[in-house]
A and B are shown apart, each in its own frame.
Chain A
Amino acid sequence: MMNMIHKRNRRGFTLVELLVSASISVIIGAAMSFAISKVGGQASGGSQATALSQELKPSLDFISDEVQQASRLYGLGDFTSATLSGATGVQPVIGFYAPDVSTATTDDYKFMLFYLADRPDSINYNGPKVLSYYQDSTNTTITAANLPTQAVPTAINVSTGRVLADNLVAQTTTNCLTSQNTTNCINTSVVDTTKKTGIVYLKGTTTNMAGQQSLKTADQSLVVQTRITARN
C-alpha cells in the first residue's frame, strides 16, 4: 500500500492538472498583455506629442527668420479678398513682402506666404493639414512710400510651395484680430495694428494608424507659438 502511494506521487502531473494550469496562465497572460498595451498606447501618444513639438519648432524658427527681412506683416484678416489656388484647402498663416536680394534694385520685393493646405495623399503626410511656404517668382516694385499701404496680391497660386511640416489641424477661425488667444487662433497668426509684430500659432495633432487626426481631444491640444517681428 505504502509503495502504491509513493509511486503515485512520483508520477508527475495528470492531464487535467496540466490543462487547468495552462488555461489559467493563458487567462493571466491575456489580462497582462491587455494592461501593458494600454500603458504602451498612452506612452506612444505622449512621445508623439513630444516629437511633434520638436518638429514644429524649426518651422516656427524658419518663419521668424524669414520675417526679419520683411517690412510689414499680413495676418489672416488681410487675405479675405485674395484668391488662393494651386492646392486644395489653402489657408494663409502669415504673408509679407521680402526684399529680393538677387537684384541690385532696392525697390524689388517678392511676396512670401506661409499657408496650410490639405495633405495631398495619405502615404507621405499625416494630419489633415500640411504647412508650406510659397515665394512669388516675380518681383513687385514697392517704394518705401507705398509700403505702408501695399495690399497682399489679389491672386496667389501656391503650386510651387515647399513643405515645412505636417500633422497640423485646420484653422477654425477666419479673423483672429479680435480674439487673440490660443483657443480660437490655431494655425494662424495675429498681427498688431502697426503691422510690425505678430504672433504665429501652430497647432499640431497626434495621429492614428491611418495618419488621420486623432479623435481624442487630449491629443489635439498641442499648440506652439512664436512672437515675430518685421525688422526691415
Chain B
Amino acid sequence: MRNHRGYRGFTVIELLVTISMIGLFASLALPSFAGLYGRQQLNQAASQIENAVLRGRTLALAKNQAMTLNITIPTAGQSTTYQIVTAANAILSSDTLPSQVAVSTSNGAGSTLTSIQFNARGVITTPAITATAIPMVTLTQNSNTRQVRLLSVLGKVKVVTP
C-alpha cells in the first residue's frame, strides 16, 4: 500500500481545486486582454496620422513645392481618408484609417481641421500652431481616445492619451 502511494495520481478534490484556481486567475486576467485589439488598432491609427504629417513635410522638402494633407471624415462607421496632394491637386499619397476608429479634429482656434498645409520649405502654414492653440486630430474607439497633436510648424507631432 505504501509502495503504491507515489503512483496514485491526483484525487478529484485536488483536480477540482486546481481547475477552479486556473478559472479564477483566468477570469481576473481576461478583462485586461479584452480591449487589447481595439487599443492596438487605435494606436496604429494614431501613428498613421503622425506618419502622414511627417510624409507631408518630407514630400514638400523633397519636391520643393507646397503640399496639403487633407483629412476627410465621412459619416459614422465609414473609414476616414487622408491624402497628400500638391498645389495642382495631384494625389501623391492616399490612405484610410480603420472604420472602427471615430475621428474628430480641431484647428486649435475653435474650428475643425480639414487640411494641413506645408509650404515649399516644409513649414506648416495652416493651421496656425501657436503655443496656446494646438491643432489636433482626436481618434476614438470604444471608450479609448488618442489625440494626435501638432506641436510645431516643423512637423513635431505628439500622441497623447487624454
Q: Which residues of A contact B (CB under 8 A)?
A: 10, 55, 58-59, 62, 65, 87, 117, 119-120, 123-125, 130, 132, 159-166
Contact = CB atoms under 8 A, between A and B. Distances in A.
B154 A124 contact: no
Contact of B156 (A119, A123, A161, A165): A165
Given A62-B154, A132-B131, A123 B123 contact: no
27 contacts: A10-B6, A58-B154, A62-B121, A65-B121, A87-B131, A117-B131, A123-B160, A124-B149, A124-B151, A132-B130, A132-B131, A159-B130, A160-B130, A161-B130, A161-B131, A162-B129, A163-B129, A163-B130, A163-B131, A163-B151, A163-B152, A163-B153, A164-B154, A165-B152, A165-B154, A165-B156, A166-B151
Nearest to B122: A58
Contacts of B152: 163-166
Interface string B120-162: 0101000011111010000000000000010111101010100
B134 A124 contact: yes
Contact of B153 (A119, A123, A160, A164): A164
Contacts of A119: 131
B126 to A, nearest CB: 11
A160 B134 contact: no
A124 B147 CA distance: 11
A55 B153 CA distance: 12
A87 B130 CA distance: 11
B150 to A, nearest CB: 9
Nearest to B151: A124
Contacts of B121: 62, 65
Nearest to A56: B154
B21 to A, nearest CB: 19
Contacts of B131: 87, 117, 119-120, 124-125, 130, 132, 161, 163
Contacts of B130: 132, 159-163
Closest 5 CB pairs of A and B: A58-B154, A163-B152, A162-B153, A120-B131, A120-B132
A65 B123 CA distance: 12
Contacts of B134: 124
Nearest to B136: A124
Contacts of A159: 130
A94 B143 CA distance: 46
A125 B132 CA distance: 10
Contacts of B154: 58-59, 62, 164-165
